[in-house]
Structure formats: C-alpha cells, structure tokens
Structure 1
Amino acid sequence: MKHALRIGLLAVLLLFNRQALSQDLTFLSALEDVPLMEGLQEATQDTVNFDTPSGRIVESYAVGNVTKKSVLSYYKESLPALGWKQIARGTFMREGEYLKISVSTQDNNVTVHFALSPKRGN
C-alpha cells in the first residue's frame, strides 16, 4: 500500500512540475513539446514537418547570440522534465521518437537544428 501511495505522489509531483515548467516556457511551433531557449528565435520559414506511417518527422531551426555550451546545457536540463530521456550528447528519446539537437556557430551567432524522427523499427 505504501508503495502505491509513493508512486501516486511521485506521479502528481511530476505532473505539477511539468505544468509549472511549461507555463514559463515558449515552445517551438512545429515541436510543441520542445521548449525554445531564451535568447533563441525560431526560424519558422525553415521548418519541415510531415507524418509517415512510422511517425512524424520534423526539422526545425532556431538562431541566436548564445553559446553552443549554453544550448546543450539548457536542453540537457530542461528536456527530462518534459519526459525526454537523454541517450547521447544532444540526443533524446521519448515515446518512440528521437530528438537530435545539433548546434553550429558562425560569427557570433548559433544555429540550433532540431531533428525529430520516429524510433527505427516501428
């Protein structure tokens, strides 16, 4: 009985944390479950979004005057609270989908590429 109560309490806390986190965040328009880091602006004109029999495929971009390190750190910290599990540096998985975040720099600007794809074998 105590185990079930602990699980229920943990579920409520996770739901509350997810709701509190999402209230303060702006999300990518094509990836409504991926936050847009402060200092980045979404490049919506470059977004590609389509569904396949295996799941959705989305490519989205954001640009800003931030550092590569801060981008990778931000997503490493924020995505787990939204249910994403980091499986490699810049790569996350949730509910049968992979999210790859890559960062490139040019001059003092950073371009962040978000690539969402279905888990292989689905």
Structure 2
Amino acid sequence: MVDERGTAAERIEAARALIRIADRVQLDRSANDLLYPEIVSVCQGELSAVVDRGVARLVAGDHPEFDLGVQLALFINALAPSEPEWAGDAGHRLAAAHPGDRALRELAESGGGSAHPCCPGV
C-alpha cells in the first residue's frame, strides 16, 4: 500500500517521530508496527538512542505506568541482526534494570525462539 500511494518517505518520518518518543510514550506491542526492515535500517540511530535513554530511565528507578521494558526489548531485538554486539550489550543492560518478566521473555524469544545473547537462560 505504501508503494501504491507513494508514501514511503512519510511512513519513515512518522515511524522516526514515534521511535524518538518511545521512552516516554506507551507504544507497547504496537511498537512492532514500526519495525519493518526498511524502517529499522534507516532509524538505527533513533532506535539505539531511545533504548539507551529508556534503560537509563529504568536504572534510575523511574518506572513509567506503561511497560517500557517491552518496548525497549522489541527495539533491541529489531537491531540484533544488524548490530549483534550492541544488542547483546543493550539486552544485558535492560535485564540488569529489572524491566519485568514480559521484557525478559521478549528478549529470550527473539529470533524465532532462539535465546537472545543477553539472556540465554530466560
């Protein structure tokens, strides 16, 4: 549909804007809607930056009323194929921030059921 309407650039900019605020705004599992390969490839910087900010927020004890950990885990998993070392480190940092069971499961279930580099036993 994006090709048919010629809205690929707008779709990427909309996704980029949502990714930038994902450490402050609930997206929950609908964050998956942002993670098409073409969006992930052009928004790697935004994704890694929001993960870093979100993990820092959780480490500081600032747990929002939404499941920030799941959103961050989804973003980490989306970057894992292209940035495996970064994803492993980010996953460890997220796990250490006690993001909740859903986030830990999301990290562990990434890659079609194979364990995430950060949490092989989860």
Normalising by structure 2, we get a TM-score of 0.34
More strand by share: 1
Rg larger in structure: 1
More helix by share: 2
